[in-house]
Structure 1
Amino acid sequence: MNRLIKSALLAGAAWGAVSTGAVAQDAVSQEPVATVDDIVVTARRREESLQDVPVAVTAVSGEQLEAKGSADITELARSTPSLTLNAARGSNSTLISFIRGVGQQDPLWGFDPGVGLYIDDVYVARPQAAVLDIFDVERIEVLRGPQGTLYGRNTIGGAIKYVTRRIDADEPEGFIRASYGSYDQRDLVASAELPVNEKFGVSAALARYLRDGFGTNLNTGNEHYNKDVMAGRISVEWAPSDRLFFRLAADAVNDDSNARHGHREVAPSPADVYDTNAGAGDTNSVETRGVSFTGEWLANDWMTFKSVTAWRDGSTRGNIDFDNQPAPILDIPARYDDNQFSQEFQLLFDGGRWNGVAGVYYMDATASGAFDTVVGLVNLTTLTSGSVDTESMAVFGDFSFDVTDALSISAGGRWTRDEKTGTVFRQQYLGIRSPAFGNSAAVLLGGPRTNYTATRTFEEFTPRVSASYKFGDDLTAYASWGRGFKSGGFDMRGDAVLYPNTVNGYDPETVETVELGLKGALFDRRLSFATAIFDSSYEDQQITTQYPAGATVASVVDNVGSSSIRGWEFEGRFRVTPSFTLNASLSYIDAQFDEFLAYIPTGPLNSTCPTLVGCFVDVSNARDFQNTPEWTGSIGATYNWFLANGGMISFLPSASYRGAYQQFETPAPLLDQLDAYWMFDASVVWTSANDKLTFGVHGKNLSDERYKIGGYSFPGALTGDSLIAFYGAPRTVTATLGLKF
C-alpha cells in the first residue's frame, strides 16, 4: 500500500508538471493542434474520443511516425509510457513486447505473448516478423492493462493495434518515399489507392528495406546487424450500399537479413559491440503472410454486425551462435513454423445513452519447430522438436451506460476456453548437429530424454468494470478494475530426465489491475494530458528459466508465484504558439516478486533441498522483473516555419530516457543494462505548399549510445562461457524524399 501511495503522490507531481507545460507528441500540421478529445480511437472496438475512453491508451498517427522518420514499431517505446518493444535476441524481426512489466521474451513455439498484437482486427499469434515497418499505416494504438473483454484473443498485459489505411480518395492517388542513410541504407516505399467508382476500390503498398550491417562477422566476412526485408499489402474494398461494407486484405513479409549472433561479452571478444566471430552460419530467413476478410452490416441505426475471418502462417529458418566463436562450442540451428485460422463475430451497439460490443471468437492455431543444441567440445548434439495445437473459443462483451451527462459506467466480461495439445521430443546424438539439421552420420545416444504428447484445457472468466466522470467539457476522470488471463501450456524445451514434471505442463497466469486516470485539456485547450496510476496483482506467473546442465542446456517453465506491480504514467502536450508545440511522457513502475519458486535441479541433500532430484525454493528476494525499467520518459518539440510561398519547414527534436533494467529475472551483470541512458533524435522536414512533396533528414541516437536489448547467459567450460549481448542501433542519419501524386 505504501508503494501505491507513492504512486499517487507521483501522480500529483504530474499534475504540477501539467501546469508547467509537460507534454506529448503532435503531428506536423499547419492546422491548429488537436487536443485529446479531438483524437478518435477504436480502443473499445468503436470510434470514440480519446478523452472518453476509460483506458490508458496512446495513439500515434502514421503522419507523426513518418515525420519523425520512425523505421518500425519498436520506436514507439521511446515515447510511450511503460512500454518495452525490441527485436528479440538473435532476431531481426521477431517482436518482444512488455507493458507494465507483463510480457514474454521467449519467442519459442507454443508460448503465448503477454501483449497482444493486432493488424487491424486480426490477432497475430506468433511474434516472428512482427517488428512491423512503418508504411501504409493510419495509426497505432497502445492499450495498457488487461483488455480481454474487447479483443478477439485474451490480452493479459495490453494490446498494440496496427491500423492500416482504408480507401478514402475520390480519384486515384499514390505515394512514393525513397530514403538513403547511414550504413548504405536504401529504402523504397510505394502505395496507391485506386477507387474504381463510389462503391469499389483497390489499394496496395510495397516496401523494400536494405541496409548494410552495423558490424561484421569477422569469421565469415558477412554483414552483421544488416537488413534485407521485402513487405507488401493489398486490399479490395466494396460498399454496395450505405449499410454494407466488405474488405479483403492480404499482407506478406520476407526477411532475409543475416543471422544476428550478438556480441561475446567475455574474452575472446571483438572490440566493436556489433561485431562477432560466430561460426554457426549467417543464413536466416523469416516469412509470414496473411489474408483477412471483413464484413460490416449496419442493421439499423443502433446495431452493426461485423465479421472478421483471417488466416496467417509463417516460417523461420536461422542460426544463433551462442558462444560467438568459430568452433561449434554452443551453436543453435533452428526452424519454426506456424499457422492460424480465426473467426470473430461482433455486434456493435449504439443506443444514444448506451453503447457497447458483444462477440464470439474462435482460433485454431498450430506452432511447431525444431532446434539443435550443439556442444562441440564433447561432440554432443541434443535435438529438441515438437508442436503445440491451440483451439481457443471465447465469448465477450463490454457495455457502457451514461447515467447522467457527466457519469458513465461500463461493465464487461469474457469467457475463454483454450485446449492445447503439446508434442515434445528431445534426443541426444554423438556428432555435430543431428540428422534433422543435416548430419546423417550422427549416432543415437540412448533413448529419448523427452517423448510425450499431452492435452490440457484451460477455462477462465475475466470481468472488467469502470466508471468515468466529466468535470465539464474538458476534464474526465475514470476508475477501472479488470482481470486478465493467459492460458497454460507445455514447455517445448522440457527435459523429462532432468525435470520429470515437465510432462504435466504449466498452469495459467492472471493479472488483476486497478487503475485511476485523469484526461483533459486546460488553458483554453492549449494543454492536453492524460495521467493514470495503477496497481496490478500478478498471480501464478509463468517464467522460463534456462541453464547449463552437464553437456546440454535444460529448461524449466513454471508458475513461480506472485508479484505486485504498481506505477504511474503521464502524457501531455502544450501548444505554446500556433507554430510551436512541446510534448513529454513519463512513467514509473515498481514491480516486485512476492514469491518466486525457483527449481533447483541438483540441490544438495540438506534441509533446504532434501532430495537429490531437485526442489523448489523461494528466491523472491534475489529476483527482479526483466525488461521493466523503473523510470522511462521523453521530451520533445515541434516547430513549424511557414514559408512565404506556402510551404513549411518543421523541426522535431526529441530525447527519451530509459532507466536500468535486467535481461532476465536473475541478475546477469555482464548482460544487464546497468546504466540508465538517454536517446537523442531530431528531424527536419520540408513540405511543399501543395503538400505533394516532402524532404526530410532524420537523425536517430545522435549521441551514439550503446545499449543492450537482449542476451543469453550460459556460463561454464563446456558451453564456452557463453555470455552474449544484443545491442540497439547506433547513430544513424537518413534523408527521405516523398512524393504524392
Structure 2
Amino acid sequence: MVVIMQTFTPRSAIALAVSLAAATQLSPALAQTETSFALEEVLVTARRRSENLQDVPIAVTALSGDALRMRGAADISELAQIIPSVTLEPSRATSTTLTAFIRGVGQQDPLAGFEQGVALYLDDVYVARPQGSLLDIYDVERVEVLRGPQGTLYGRNAVGGAIKYVTRRLSDQVDVRLKGSLGTYNQQALVATASAPITDTLRVGATVARLTRDGYGKNLTTGEEHYDKDLFAYRLSAEWLPSADWLIRLAYDKSDDKTNPVAGYRPFPGAVSGVPVLDDVYDTTAGASEQISTAGINGNNQVEAEGIMMSIDWNVSDATTLRSITAYREDYTESVIDFDGLAVMDFDAPVIYDNEQLSQEFQLLYNADRWNAVAGFYYLDATASNDFDVVLGQIGPVTAYTGGTVDTEAWSVFADLTYSLTDQLSLSVGGRYTEDKRTADIFRANYLGFGSPFLGNDSAIFLGATSDYEASNTYTDFSPRINLSYAINDTATAYAGYSQGWKAGSFDPRGANFITPEVERGFEPETLDSWEVGLKMTWLDGRAVTNIAAFYSDYEDMQIPGSVGVDSDNDGVNDGFVGTVTNAGKAEISGFELEGNIMLTERLSAQMSLSLLDAEIKEWLFNGVDISEDRAVQNTPEEMAYLGVTYTLPVAKGDLSFNANWSYKGDVTQFETEVPVIDQKSHDIINASIVWLSDDDKWLVGLHGKNLGDEEIKTAGYCFGSGGCPSFLGLEDNTTVFYAPPRTVTGTVEYRF
C-alpha cells in the first residue's frame, strides 16, 4: 500500500475510486431484498441548505448529538477517532486550546499572528482563535466536518476544512433535561438544559454545565492534580418567530476553565539538577506556578471565553431567503508554561492571551427547481494579543519578554451556484474574493531578573530590545471552486471537483527585527489547490451507505512557525530565543477516504472509516539549499482506520445497546522534523459502551469505557534539549511530552422531563 500511495495522482485516484465502487456493488438479487428497517436519513447544512448527506457532492461527515451521547463523547477531539484524515488535539501545555489538522493542513501555534488552517464554527459563527476552542460536547444537535478547502459557501475562507458545531434548536414544548456522570479519577459532570415557549412565537432556553475531574497524574512539587479538569460553562438562547417567514435567534455563551497547569513528561533526567525520569508519564515535578517567574500572573492558569450572536432569517419568497449573522466573541487566558517540567526555575513562561472579534455575515440563498445559489458578504474585525516572559532562571537570570498585537480587518464576497443540467447531472461553480489587512505592533526585550516589568517585575534591569516595530500588510486573493456531480441512479452519486484554499500572510510576534530586519515584512500567504473525486452509495434497500473520496492537493508556501535558542554573548549557552516562520516551498498531499455504515440485521449494525494519505514535502529552501528530504508534514498519519459494532436488544421497556469500537492511527510526526522522543508511533484505541434508552426517550443510563488498552499516546511536545531538537534553551535538557487520557470508565444517567 505504501508503494501505491507514493504514486498517487489525480488519474490514479479516479481509477481507484471507480474500481472500489465496482467492488462494493451488490448482486441484483441482494440489492432487491426487501426489509422493514433502514438507516436514518442524515440531514446536513454543509451547502447552506438542508440536504440528505448522501446527496452532498463533497467530503463531509456528520455526527448527530444522539450518536455522540450514545458513545459518551466528551469533547470534539474524539471525532478524530472516527473521521478519516482528521487530527484534533489539545495544544501543548493546555487543556482547551485546539490544534486541528485535516488532510495535512492545520496550524500548531496559538500565538497572535497565526490563523488556524481548519475553521471552527459555533452556530455559523467563525471562531478566530484556538484558545478555549476544544469544545465540550453538550447541548449539541450535530457536528459536521468538511474536508478540503472551504470558502465559497459561508464564513471565513479555510485552507484545510471546517468543523461546524451546531447547537440544538429550541422546542415548541417544555423541554427539561438533566445529565449526571461519575467516573474514574473522580470525574463528576452535571449538565442541565431547559427550554420553554413563552408565547406562540417566543421560546427561551438555557444550558449549564459543571465538569470536573481529578488529574490522571500528580504534580509531585506542588501536590496539585495534573491533567485534571475544572470547567463551568453556560449558554442562554432565545428564538422569536414573529411570522412563518421570519426566524430570529439570539444566543450568549460563556465558559470558565480553571484547570491546573499542564506540564509535559520529561524523558531525560535534569542535566544540572539531576532530577530522575519519573515512572508515570502523567506525573510532573513542574513548579513554575509557585515560583517568582510566574508572579506577574500569580501563578494563575485560567481560560475565560464568551460570545454573543444574533442570526436573522427572512424567507422573502418560497425560493429566496435573506440571512444575517452578527457576532462578538472574546477570550482571556493566563497560562503557566513550565518548559523544563522541574521545580527549579530553568525555563518558565507566564503567558497572557487576550483576543476579541466582531463578525458580520450577509447571505442570499436561492432555491428553485433547477437552481440553487448562495451569495454572501463576510466581515471580520479581530484583535489577537499576547504578552509572555521566557525566564531562564539558571542563566543570569535572564528574561526575554515578548509583547505582540496583531489586528485583522478582513472582508470578502463569495458566491456558489448549482445548476441541474439534467435530472442526473449538476454543475456547481463558485468563487471568493478576499481582502485581509494585518497590522502588527511588536516589542521584544531582554531583562536581567526573574521576569520583566510588563509582567510584574519592576526591579528588572533592561538589557536591550530585540524587536520594536509596527507594520501592516494587505493581502488579496480570488479562490475558485467547480464541482460536477452525476446521479447514477436513485442510490448512487458520483462527483469530481476542484477547489482552492488560501490563508493570508501575517507577522510573527516572536520575530527579532533588530537581528533579522526581514521580519517586519511578515510572512507570505499560503495556497492549496485540491482535486477530488468521490462516490456516495446507498444500498441494501437503505440498510447501508458507502462514501468514497480520493483527492490530490498541491500546497504552496506552507506557513511553518517555530522557535530556536539564541546565544547573544557568544559564550556557548543560549540566553534567549527568536521566532522563525518558514513559507515552505511546496508539499503534495494525496489520499483515499472511505466511510461506511451498515445494518446487518435489525439489531446489529457496523460502522467503519479509513484514510490512506501520502503527504510529502517537495521543496523546502534553507539558505538556498533544498532540505525537503529532511522535512515532514506535521500531524498527518499515513493510515487511519475505524471499526465499530453495535448490537441492540429490547430490555425492560427500552433498548439496551452494546457498542465496541476500534480505531487505529499510523505514525505521527509532531513537527516538521522527526523527533522520535516526541513523535507518536502507530497505535490502537479500543472503546466500549453499554447504554439503555427507555422507549419514551426519557431515561438514558450508560457505561462508557475509553482507551481500554490503556495506551500511552503522545499528543504534543516541546523540544529544546536532546533527542533531535533543533536547538537548546535552558540548562536542564528541556524536552517534554504531553499525553492523551489513559483508560477511563464513566457512568452516565440522563432524564428528560
Give the alignment's TM-score, normalised by structure 2.
Answer: 0.92
Bigger drift between 245-254 and 489-498 goes to 489-498
Residue among 428, 452, 458 paired with 1:410? 428
Aligned to 2:686: 680
Cα separation, 1, equivalents of 2:318 and 2:495: 28
SS for the counterpart of 2:394 is helix
Preserved CA contact (<8 Å) 2:576 2:729: no
Distance 1:2 1:676 in 2: 22
Aligned to 2:353: 336
**Which amino acid in the other structure matches residue 161 of structure 2?**
G
Shift in Å at residue 172 of structure 1?
Answer: 0.9
Residues 592-603 of structure 1 mapped to structure 2, 5 A cutoff:
592-598=616-622
Alpha-carbon offset, residue 549 of structure 1? 1.7
Question: What's the counterpart of residue 296 of structure 2?
Answer: none
Residue of structure 1 equivalent to 2:631? 623
Q: Identify the residue that residue 689 of structure 1 maps to in structure 2.
A: 695
Counterpart in the other structure of 1:668: 675
Aligned counterpart, 2:164: 161
Quick one: which amino acid aligns to residue 636 of structure 2?
A: T
Is 1:523 aligned to 2:540, yes or no? yes
Higher mean displacement: 560-569 or 5-14: 5-14
Query: Retained in 2: the 8 A contact 1:515–1:535?
Result: yes
The DSSP-based 3-state class of the residue aligned with 1:263 is: coil
For each residue in 1:610-651, what CA deviation from the matched residue of structure 2 results, as whole angstroms up to 9, or x when unmatched?
xxxxx35321000111100000110001111113x4311001
Amino acid at match of 1:3: F
Distance 1:627 1:339 in 2: 28
Residues 416-435 of structure 1 mapped to structure 2, 5 A cutoff: 416-435=434-453
CA distance in structure 1 between the aligned counterparts of 2:81 and 2:23, rounded to whole angstroms:
19
Residue 93 (1) aligns with residue 105 (2): no
1:440-455 pair list within 5 angstroms? 440-446=458-464, 448-455=465-472
One of 1, 4, 7 as aligned partner of 1:2:
7
Structure-1 residue corresponding to 2:257 = 255
Deviations 1:504-560 (A, max 9, x none): 100100000000000011222222011100000001111112222221122111212
Kindly indicate whether the alpha-carbon contact (under 8 Å) linking 2:212 and 2:231 is maintained by their aligned counterparts in 1.
yes
Q: 1:731 to 1:461 in 2, by over 3 A?
A: same
| Cα distance in 1, alignment partners of residues 15 and 458 from structure 2 | 65
| Secondary structure of 2:629 counterpart | helix
Partner of 2:48: 45
Q: How many residues get paired?
A: 710
Note the residue ranges of structure 2 that are not aligned, 5 or more in a row: 1-5, 28-35, 270-275, 290-298, 568-574, 722-727
What CA deviation, in whole Å up to 9, does each residue of 1:693-719 have, x standing for no partner? Answer: 111000000000001000010123734
SS of 1:460 mapped into structure 2: strand
Q: Contact 2:171–2:196 (CA<8 Å) still a contact in 1?
A: no
Of stretches 10-19 and 720-729 in structure 1, the one that deviates more from structure 2 is 10-19
Name the CA distance, whole Å, in 2 between partners of 1:280 and 1:9. Answer: 56
1:723 corresponds to which of 710, 735, 738: 735
Matched to 1:398, the amino acid is D
Distance 1:209 1:161, change over 3 A: same
How far the C-alpha of 1:6 sits from its partner, in A, is: 5.8
Q: Relative to structure 1, is the Cα distance of residues 262 and 356 closer, same or farther in structure 2, using a 3 angstrom cutoff?
A: same
CA distance in 1 between counterparts of 2:26 and 2:711 reads 30
User: In the TM superposition, what is the alpha-carbon distance from 1:498 to its structure 2 partner?
Assistant: 3.7
Deviations 1:670-715 (A, max 9, x none): 1111x21000000000112322111100000000000100001012
Look up the equivalent residue of 2:91 and give its one-letter code.
A
**What's the CA shift for 1:32?**
4.0
**Letter matched to residue 249 of structure 1:** A
Cα distance in 1 for residues equivalent to 2:653 and 2:751 = 17
The answer (yes or no) to whether the contact 1:264–1:270 under 8 Å persists in 2 is yes
Deviation at 1:262, TM superposition (A): 1.2
Q: TM-score scaled to structure 1, two decimals?
A: 0.94
Instruction: Please say if residues 8 and 568 of structure 1, whose CA atoms lie closer than 8 Å, have aligned partners that are also in contact.
Output: no
AA matched with 1:728? A
Q: Counterparts of 2:73 and 2:661 in 1: how far apart (Å)?
A: 12
Q: CA deviation at 1:13?
A: 7.1
Shift of residue 438, structure 1, vs aligned partner: 2.0
Once residues 103 and 386 of structure 2 are traced to their aligned partners in structure 1, the CA distance between those partners, rounded to angstroms, is 30
Give the superposition deviation at 1:415: 0.3
- Does the Cα contact within 8 Å between 1:154 and 1:486 map onto a contact in 2? yes
Q: Is the 8 A contact 1:18 1:572 kept in 2?
A: no
Corresponding position: 1:570 with 2:594: yes
**Alpha-carbon spacing, 1:13–1:639, altered in 2? closer, same or farther (3 Å):** farther
| Residue 192 (structure 2) pairs with residue 190 (structure 1) | yes
Question: How has the CA–CA distance of structure 1 residues 108 and 391 changed in structure 2, closer, same or farther, with 3 Å as cutoff?
Answer: same
Whole-Å separation in 1 of the counterparts to 2:155 and 2:693? 40
- Which position in structure 2 is the counterpart of 1:476? 493
Q: Distance in 2 between matches of 1:654 and 1:493?
A: 43
Within 2, Cα distance between the matches of 1:6 and 1:708?
Answer: 34
1:636 correspondence with 2:649: no
Runs of 5+ consecutive residues of structure 1 not aligned to the other structure: 22-30, 599-614
Structure 1 stretches of 4+ moved >3 Å: 5-21, 716-719
3-state SS of 2:620 partner: strand
CA shift digits 1:136-194 (9 cap, x unpaired): 1000000000111112111111000000111133x212100000000000000010111
**What whole-Å deviation, never above 9, does each CA across 1:107-140 have from its counterpart, x for those lacking one?**
1112100000000110000011111111110000
Contact (CA 8 Å) 2:61, 2:146: kept in 1 or not? Answer: yes
CA shift for structure 1 position 475:
0.1
* Mapping of residues 222-371 of structure 1, within 5 Å: 222-267=224-269, 268-281=276-289, 283-371=300-388
State the 1:34 CA deviation.
Answer: 2.3
Residue number in structure 2 paired with 1:177? 179
- Of residues 362-371 and 686-695 in structure 1, the stretch that sits farther from structure 2 once superposed is 686-695
Amino acid at match of 1:416: T
Kept in 2: contact 1:32–1:578 (CA 8 A): yes
Aligned-pair Cα RMSD in Å:
1.6
Matches of 2:392 and 2:181, distance apart in 1: 43
What is residue 26 of structure 1 aligned with on the other side? none
Instruction: Report the CA distance shift for 1:546/1:719 in structure 2 as closer, same or farther (over 3 A).
Output: farther
Give the residue type in structure 2 aligned to 1:639: Y
Residue 399 of structure 2 aligns with which residue? 381
Counterpart residue number, 1:491:
508
* Residue in structure 1 matched with residue 744 of structure 2 by the alignment: 732
> 2:293 — aligned with what?
none
Secondary structure at 2:100's aligned position in 1? Answer: strand
Aligned residue among 205, 209, 212 for 2:211? 209
Whether the 8 Å CA contact 2:38–2:542 is kept in 1: the answer is: no
What is the CA-CA distance between 1:356 and the residue it aligns to?
Answer: 1.4
Deviation digits for residues 547-598 of structure 1, max 9, x if unmatched?
Answer: 2222112211121211100000000011101111011000011011111124
- Paired AA for residue 590 in structure 2: R
Of all paired residues, the percent bearing the same amino acid is 46
* Whole-angstrom distance in 2 between the partners of 1:581 and 1:503: 57
Q: Residue 446 of structure 2 contacts residue 462 of structure 2 at CA under 8 Å; is this kept in 1? A: yes
In the TM superposition, residue 449 of structure 1 has moved relative to its aligned partner by 0.6
Structure 1 distance, partners of 2:494, 2:430, is 19
Alignment partner, residue 580 of structure 1: 604
Change (3 A) 1:17 1:67: farther
Q: Which residue of 2 aligns with 1:609?
A: none
SS at match of 1:392: strand
